[in-house]
Amino acid sequence: MQFLKNLFTPILAVLGFINKYFKSMIFLLIVFLIFSGDKSAQSPNANLATINLTGAIMDDSQILEKIKEIENNGAIKGVLLIIDSPGGALSPSVEISQAIKSLNTKKPVVAYAKGTMASGSYLSGVWASKIYANPGSFIGSIGVIMQGLDVSNLTEKIGISEQVVKAGEFKEAGTMMRPWSEAERESLQSLVNQSYELFAREVASARKLKFDEREIWANARVFLSAQAKKLGLIDEVGSLQSAKTACEKLSGVSNPIWLEPSPYEKMLNKLATQGSAMVYNLAGARLMAF
Region 85-101 average pLDDT: 96
Q: With bands split at pLDDT 50, 70 and 90, how would you rate the model's confidence at 1?
A: very low
Cβ(53)–Cβ(79) below 8 Å? no
Q: What residue spans define the domains of the chain?
A: 1-35, 39-141+221-289
* Minimum mean pLDDT range among 30-44, 119-133, 191-205: 30-44
CA pair distance 115, 153, nearest whole angstrom:
39
By annotation, the residues acting in catalysis are: 119, 171
Residue 285 has pLDDT above 60, yes or no: no
Residue 36 has pLDDT above 80, yes or no: no
Nearest residue to 54 via CA among 239, 278, 220, 274:
274
Share of the chain above pLDDT 90, in %: 61
Sequence-ordered list of residues with C-beta below 8 angstroms from that of 214, at least 6 positions apart, any chain: 142, 200, 204
Share of the chain above pLDDT 70, in %: 75
Give residue 143's pLDDT.
Answer: 95
Which helix (H) or strand (E) segment holds residue 89: the answer is strand 88-89
CA pair distance 257, 279, nearest whole angstrom:
36
The CATH class of 39-141+221-289 is alpha beta
Helices (H), the chain: 2-35, 61-71, 90-106, 120-125, 152-158, 182-207, 214-217, 225-231, 240-251, 263-282
Give residue 4's pLDDT.
Answer: 37
Give residue 241's pLDDT.
Answer: 97
CA pair distance 18, 12, nearest whole angstrom:
10
